[in-house]
Structure formats: C-alpha cells, structure tokens
Amino acid sequence: MAQAQSNAPASPAITPSTETYREGAVDEKKERSSQEFDLPSPPPKAPQVKAAPQGDPYVLEFNRSPVVGSRFSLRGIYDEARLGFTRPRQWKLKSVKALIRYRHSPALYATRSNLTVMINGASIGSIPLSQEEGEIGNAVFDVPLSQLQNYNQITIAALQNNSPTCTQDPYDPSLWTEILPDSKITFDYEPQPIALDFNRYPYPIFDELSLEPNQITYLLPSKVDQAWLTATSRFQASLGRIADYRRLNTRLVKTVDDVKLTEQLVVIGTPEQQSALKSLALPMPIKDNQILDEKEKALPPDVGVLMLTTTPEDVAPVLVATGNGEAGVKKAIQFLVQSKDQKIGTGQTILVKDLDAVPSPPPRDWPGYLPLAEEFELSDLTNRSGQPFEDITVRGSDSPPIEFDFRALPDDRFESGNSMTLVYSYGPQINAKTSLVEVKLDDVALIGKRLTSINGGTRETLKIDLPGDRIKPTSKIQVDFRLDARERRSCSKVTDQQLWGTLHNDTSFKLNRTTAVQLPDLKLVTLGYPFAAPQDLSQMAMVLPKTPSPSDVMTALEFSARLGRLTKAESVQFTVYTADMLPQEVREEYHLVGVGIEKDFPFPEVFTAGGFELRDTLTRQLDESEIQASPDNDGVVKEIMSPWNDERVLLALAAQTDKGLEQVQDLLKNDPLFFQIQDDTVLISANEQGADAYSPNAYNLDFFKQQPLVSVEKTPLPNRVLRLLGTSWFLLGPALVAATLILYALVQLYLKRVAGQEK
C-alpha cells in the first residue's frame, strides 16, 4: 500500500510498507522517504469548481442508446423494454419528466390494453392503448425525484389484447406496440459547485455518472519526452478501464487558456516541464521550479505530488501529477493507476513517498474469461456485475433464457472431449409432453431434454458435449426453460407464473484444451491480444518518432485508452519510448506498437515486410502494384511478426499524413469501427468531416491478408507428446511393431559385423 500524506484534517496515519516501489528512485531514497514533510495548512474554505451557468433543461433521447436503434418494439400479450440512465453528481434536480411517443397495432382493444411506465420498479403511470391506426401517441409522466438514484432504469411495459374477452394466441403478430426512438427524458436541474477531494477519485476528473462523454484535456509539456509519454499513456489506459463502455473524448492543449468549460484538465510533469503550474492556484508553493513544503524545503525528487485545483476563474477542475524529478512524477501517476492504492487517497493534496510494486499477473490470467483449470463450475464464472454466479430461477412460459459468458482465452484451442454437466430443477404442474430444457452455444442449439416429472424435478443432471471449434472468446451459453402448463386456463396469468426452472451454480464444465495461436491477426487485437498478456500490459512497449507530433501523441493515447477498456488488472505497466531511446532488449523481447507517419515511422521494417506498404512521395504499394495518391489521408493499421523475435508481434499505427493518423484515432476510439478489424492490414478513411461512427456509411474500411500466419504454441513439450499420443493412439501399435523390426535389423547387422571381425 502507498504511504501518502494528505491535507485532510482527519486523515489517519498510514504505516509504511516494507516492500516499496523503487523504480527510478534516487540513491538516498530510503533515508529521505523516512522524513516527514510538512504540507500546507488547509485553506479556511475548501476550494471548489464554480457551478456551471444555468442552462436549458437537459434532454436525454432514447435513440442515444445503441439498444434502441430505430425502434423499441413490444410484442405478445405482455412485454417489457428497459433503458438505463444515470444522474450526474453535480446536478440538483428540480423536476424530471418522461415523454413517451408510441404507436400500436390497430387490432388492440383499448379497454384491455395499456402501457405502463416504471422507474426503478415503481410505477409512475399507465395509459390505454387507444390510438387510431397510424396515429402517434404522446404521453408525459412526472418522475418522482425520490425514486431516482445514481443508476436508474426506466421500464416500459405493454399489456396487449386483441379480444374483448381472451386473447388465445400470445404469439399473434397483431400484438405489438412500438416506442419511438425520439422519446425522451427531460431533466430540469440546477448546477452545483464541485468540491475538490481525492476521496471521490476519479471524480471530478472523470464522472462515471455523466450523461455526456467525459472530456479529458492534457496540457503538453515544454518537451515531449519518454518519461512524460509513459506517465500520460499509463494514466490514459487507467481512464480507459474506468470508462469501460462509456464515451471518452481526449484532446491536447498548449496553454491553460485553451481549456473549455466542459473539459477536465490533466497536467503531468515537473514544474520545469510544465511552466503553466505557476499560473494555477496550487495548495503547495513552487519556487525556482521546485515544489516546497510549508517550511519552504524542496521535496526530494523521488516524492510524487498529486493536487486538485481549478483553471483560472474556477471554471474547470485540474488534476496535477508532479514532483521535483521524473521519479516523483512517475510515482504520482502510478499511485493513480494502481486501483488498490488510489482508494486510500483523500484531501486536495497527496504526497506519494513509498508505493508497493504490484506483481505482474500470469499472462493467461484474464478476468472475465474461462478459468485456467480443466474442470470448473458455474460459480467460478462471474456475472456482469463481477460477482460469482448464484442459482438463477426464471418463471413463466415465455421466460427469457439464462445467459452467461463462456469466453475462451484468445490462445485457447479446444479438442474433442469438452463437456458441460447441467444441474437444474423445475416446478410441478408442467406439461411433460411439451416442456423441455434447451442448451445453446452462441444461439446454436446443442441439446434439449423433456421435463418428464409432473411433480417437478430436483437437481436433475444433463451432460452436453461442447464442440471445441465453436468455443470462442466471445461465446455465450444460453439455458432456456421452455415451460408449458399442464392445465391451460383461459386468460389466466396465475398458472403461467407458477411455472419455474432453476439453473444451479454447481453446473460443471470439463475442457480439453491446449495453448496455441496463429499470428498476425488483427481480429485478436479486438480482444487486446497479444498486448494484454499479461493484463497489466507489462510485455508491451509503444514507440513514437524521435520528436513526436501532437498527432503521434494523440494516436498513442487513443491506443492506450482502448487497451485500458480491454483489460482488467491492478496496475498498468507498459512503457512508451521515442525511437532513439528504445533499448535493444525491449526491441527483442517485447510486443511492439509503432506510431507515426511514414517518413518518421520508428519501424521501417513494417513497410518492407511485403503486402501493403507505404513509401515516400505519397506512394502506396501492394505486392507488385504501385501508385501515387494525393492527398493520402487514409489511416493504416498493420500487424507483422516482429523481425527480432518470432514469437512477438509488431503493430503499426501509421499514415502518410497527420490527417491519416486522425482516421486511425477514430478507428481506435469508436467501437463500431474497432470491432470490425480483421486480417493483418486495414485501411480506414472517413467519407466526410466529423463522420458519425454509428452511421454505416460514415467510414470505409478495407482489409488485406498479406502476411503468412505463424503458429505460436505455448503448450509445454511433455503435454504436446501426451496430446499426440492421445489423438494418435490407433497408430501406437503399428509404430511399436515398426520400431521393433528396425531394432531387430540393427542388432542383426551388428552381430554380422562382429562375426566377420572374428574370422
């Protein structure tokens, strides 16, 4: 754990750790870090960011969610649709209204059909479905403020009947209602000041509850060097992990005055690198480019300093990660990217003196993926909340399937002999002729079994063969209880809800797998592989040109954020180098990511390896075909095997121009584009300025498969021999016979020679 000092008046003492983070420390670190540094006294009034100017009510339209798309359909006798939204921290809500726009089937009976809206499970109103054919209905619902939480869910439920007495067929296609995508939730709110305190980190630098993309702005230092690039990229990767599925917009600025009202500023570097620190209202004084404590003593260069402040006029929050030396800056950032350490932060100022080094996880320890053991249970997997699976029960004849991730590691290869032993129970009153349990892998049915006991079943088992060629890193297993009542009662929901099925968490799995992968393959990059093995990214290095441009830096930051989204670990450990500072051992032993335009690209070997190549004078070459294009604003992502290590890869994020690098940044930032990449080379171009990544015609992606695939197998040799014997046992007998005959012939030849020598 970190040893830190804070200016919070009630901060508890923290005992120094015996194992400390020593990378980059000075020779006298142990002696100096045992000193006590005097932090400035807290100001009489805690600093805060001013409340934003009062604006118009905020409108959240349903079509901003990808799950809504062009329509939100409700079908059958009873159906529900759900949409999640958050409540930003800095809002004091005055009123919230939900406007639902809808249209429905003309076959519905208004007296027996209605639409109900619920917030977090509490009903806020119902309306009859009584519109004429083709007419669009509008309904406004007041949302009680007491029902709102940080994370909220609006549920729209439709009860639909096409008969004045009883709807006989629940699957009748005339039973439908559509919620139009321009339905909206309107927030009338009063902006509040933002307190600056590390006890709520990452807020206010990153707000997980924001309804808008978080806007992060980095202040460029006087010189972009290796230390700044590494610290900034690691911090950006940590923000990517925090952001997860949320949008994150990043920008570089040269002065504090360039920061916009809606942005959060991050300043990384020593006072000498970041002269703008002197213009900020910092809780610690700076003199002669040295940070001083209250007694005006300069802090040692290996002490990290973290401060929260505001831009001039207190309009935007600022995070400062600094120190009197590169070691201190690196330690300050490392405190923030190590999730277990950042939790102990508090106050406006933190001095990071000692920091535990987080050990790197094993390369194949990927949270959220299948366990490494050959045999495991459902309880060993985690749900979407990161918690182990418990028993799951579903009810009704039209209950949704129970679904869970069954994600293979990217280098998993499955052979025959994989199985799942389903443990399940079900209730009485089922129709044994028409009720069953079905197991699907990625929506492909594997097996089904009738539920045969009209009195219910307890902990019954079913063994299912899992086809190895269908278990992928994106796989899901669905367990579907198709339940039918033994006695049908006209229009009765009671009998239906008495039907239930339970999936038990001791459902077990047995997998027969090896470790092998074929590279290069950009499809694996969408999983983070191989750069995310291990998950702290410690076996990866990024390399930029000797003098990086802002476009180079932005591309590196977008790639860092993407890797952060794809990984889960206690720390971030990769390093960023400039081309002139790359050590030979890193070149030979690490996975490498090169960034830059063609003329300054740090690894020209990428464009001499065959396939698609970029050359000077805006020249493109594909095999023997060569053209010149002007302008060439396409981005290029290309992966080859490392020329210095046949088990490592070299990824190029390149272009002919800075405009082309912007296309690469768009590819890395936007999910709809990034998860399309495949083969070993992709060219990306935007069809218009400011193209929308969610529009199918906004970008052009071209893929090439030019590099020969190399099989990288990491299975130990004894395991390979056992696997060969296991898969080729039918050849064992003939092989033994052949070996015996060869040995017999050799012995006879030897005996003849001996006999000839004796004569």
Q: Which of 126-135, 432-441, 454-463, 630-639 has the lowest mean pLDDT?
A: 630-639
Looking at the structure, tell me whether residues 305 and 441 fall in a common domain.
no
Residues 6+ away with beta carbon under 8 Å from 711:
516, 517, 518
| pLDDT above 60 (res 72) | yes
Looking at the structure, tell me whether residues 334 and 448 fall in a common domain.
no
Among the listed residues 649, 432, 418, the one whose alpha carbon sits nearest the alpha carbon of residue 514: 418
Looking at the structure, tell me whether residues 528 and 509 fall in a common domain.
no
Task: List beta partners, residue 424.
Answer: 460, 503
Across all residues in the chain, what is the average pLDDT?
87
Position 553 scores a pLDDT of: 98
Tokens representing residue 489 in the block:
């009662």
CA pair distance 589, 586, nearest whole angstrom: 5
Contact 362, 16 (CB under 8 A): no
Output the CA torsion 485→486→492→496 (10° steps): -20
Looking at residue 690, which CATH number applies to its domain? 3.30.379
Residues 6+ away with beta carbon under 8 Å from 252:
217, 218, 220, 550, 553, 554
Domain boundary among 501, 516, 531: 516
- Report phi then psi at 64, rounded to 5: -75, -15
Query: Largest Cα–Cα distance of the chain, in whole Å?
Result: 117
In degrees, rounded to 5, the angle at the alpha carbon of residue 704 between the alpha carbons of residues 673 and 545 is 75
- Other CB atoms closer than 10 Å to residue 414's CB: what's the count? 18
Burial 266-285 (b: 16+ CB within 10 A, else e): bbbbbbebbebbeebebbbe
| pLDDT above 90 (res 307) | yes
CA pair distance 333, 319, nearest whole angstrom: 11
Q: Note the pLDDT tens digit of each residue in 604-626.
A: 999 887 777 777 766 777 776 76
CA pair distance 491, 166, nearest whole angstrom: 6
Position 285 scores a pLDDT of: 93
Q: Is residue 717 part of a domain?
A: no
User: What value does the mean pLDDT take over residues 248-273?
Assistant: 95
Q: Note the pLDDT tens digit of each residue in 430-472.
A: 999 999 999 999 999 999 999 999 899 999 999 999 999 999 9
Q: Is residue 46 part of a domain?
A: no
Report the share of the chain in percent with pLDDT over 90: 66
Tokens representing residue 468 in the block:
């190895």
In degrees, rounded to 5, the angle at the alpha carbon of residue 148 between the alpha carbons of residues 142 and 151 is 130
Q: Using 50, 70 and 90 to split pLDDT, how confident is the model at 717?
A: very low
CA pair distance 739, 729, nearest whole angstrom: 15
- Report phi then psi at 31, rounded to 5: -70, -45
Q: Using 50, 70 and 90 to split pLDDT, how confident is the model at 408?
A: very high
The DSSP output letter for 505 is T
Q: Using 50, 70 and 90 to split pLDDT, how confident is the model at 742?
A: confident
Number of domains in the chain: 5
Q: Is residue 48 part of a domain?
A: no
Looking at the structure, tell me whether residues 683 and 540 fall in a common domain.
yes
Contact 160, 175 (CB under 8 A): yes
Looking at the structure, tell me whether residues 611 and 598 fall in a common domain.
yes
Looking at the structure, tell me whether residues 629 and 699 fall in a common domain.
yes
What is the rounded radius of gyration, in angstroms, for the C-alpha atoms of the chain? 31
Contact 406, 370 (CB under 8 A): yes
Q: Is residue 619 part of a domain?
A: yes
Among the listed residues 202, 200, 189, 201, the one whose alpha carbon sits nearest the alpha carbon of residue 148: 189
- Taking phi first (over 0 means left), then psi (-120 to 50 degrees means alpha), and beta for anything else, what does residue 443 get? left
Looking at the structure, tell me whether residues 161 and 90 fall in a common domain.
yes
Q: How far is CA 214 from CA 93, 243, 382, in A?
A: 20, 9, 28
CA pair distance 380, 454, nearest whole angstrom: 32
Q: Is residue 367 part of a domain?
A: no
| pLDDT above 50 (res 727) | no
| pLDDT above 90 (res 630) | no
Handedness of CA 61, 65, 71, 76 (dihedral sign): negative
Looking at the structure, tell me whether residues 462 and 543 fall in a common domain.
no
Position 622 scores a pLDDT of: 76
Among the listed residues 263, 190, 197, 192, the one whose alpha carbon sits nearest the alpha carbon of residue 47: 197
Contact 155, 62 (CB under 8 A): no
Burial of 595 (0-12, 13-18, 19+ CB in 10 A): buried
Q: Using 50, 70 and 90 to split pLDDT, how confident is the model at 311?
A: very high
User: What value does the mean pLDDT take over residues 674-689?
Assistant: 91
Q: Is residue 42 part of a domain?
A: no
CA pair distance 48, 197, nearest whole angstrom: 9
Contact 291, 272 (CB under 8 A): no
CA pair distance 450, 435, nearest whole angstrom: 6
Q: Note the pLDDT tens digit of each residue in 40-66.
A: 665 555 678 888 877 789 999 988 776
Contact 401, 478 (CB under 8 A): yes
Q: How far is CA 433 from CA 439, 456, 485, 652, 755, in A?
A: 18, 13, 10, 59, 83
Q: How far is CA 113 from CA 106, 131, 141, 157, 489, in A?
A: 11, 11, 18, 11, 20
Q: Is residue 125 part of a domain?
A: yes
Residues 6+ away with beta carbon under 8 Å from 538:
360, 573, 574
Looking at the structure, tell me whether residues 95 and 129 fall in a common domain.
yes
Contact 349, 282 (CB under 8 A): no
Strands 575-578 and 540-544: parallel
Among the listed residues 584, 432, 419, 589, the one whose alpha carbon sits nearest the alpha carbon of residue 509: 419
- Looking up tokens 């404590």, which residue turns up? 293
Sequence-separated contacts (24+) of 197-202 with Cβ below 8 Å: 197/8, 197/46, 197/308, 197/346, 197/347, 197/348, 198/6, 198/306, 198/308, 198/345, 198/346, 198/347, 198/348, 198/350, 199/8, 199/345, 199/346, 199/347, 201/336, 201/342, 201/345, 202/239, 202/242
Tokens representing residue 544 in the block:
């930029």
For 104-132, the DSSP string reads E-TT--GGG-EEEEEETTEEEEEEE--PP
Q: How far is CA 735 from CA 186, 578, 725, 730, 743, in A?
A: 77, 56, 11, 9, 12
Domain boundary among 172, 191, 210: 191
- pTM, entire model: 0.87
| pLDDT above 80 (res 342) | yes
Output the CA torsion 99→101→105→106 (10° steps): 90
| pLDDT above 90 (res 547) | yes
Looking at residue 260, which CATH number applies to its domain? 3.30.379.10
Angle at which helices 226-243 and 326-337 cross, to 10°: 10
Looking at the structure, tell me whether residues 594 and 622 fall in a common domain.
yes
Strands 457-465 and 540-544: unpaired
Structural domain range at position 394: 375-516
Contact 669, 646 (CB under 8 A): no
Residues 6+ away with beta carbon under 8 Å from 193:
48, 49, 50, 51, 90
Chain-centre distance for alpha carbon 585: 30
3-state helix, strand, coil in the chain (%, to 5): 20, 35, 45
Position 33 scores a pLDDT of: 40
Output the CA torsion 603→604→607→613 (10° steps): 110
Among the listed residues 677, 738, 668, the one whose alpha carbon sits nearest the alpha carbon of residue 704: 677
Domain boundary among 516, 531, 554: 516
What is the number of helices (H) and of strands (E) in the chain?
12, 44
Looking at the structure, tell me whether residues 537 and 505 fall in a common domain.
no
Q: Which of 40-44, 74-78, 573-577 has the lowest mean pLDDT?
A: 40-44
Residues 6+ away with beta carbon under 8 Å from 174:
105, 107, 108, 162
Looking at the structure, tell me whether residues 175 and 254 fall in a common domain.
no
Task: List beta partners, residue 141.
Answer: 98
In the chain, what is the straight-line distance between the N-terminal and C-terminal CA atoms, in Å? 84
Q: Is residue 363 part of a domain?
A: no
Position 32 scores a pLDDT of: 40
Q: Is the peptide bond before 530 cis (omega within 30 degrees of 0)?
A: yes
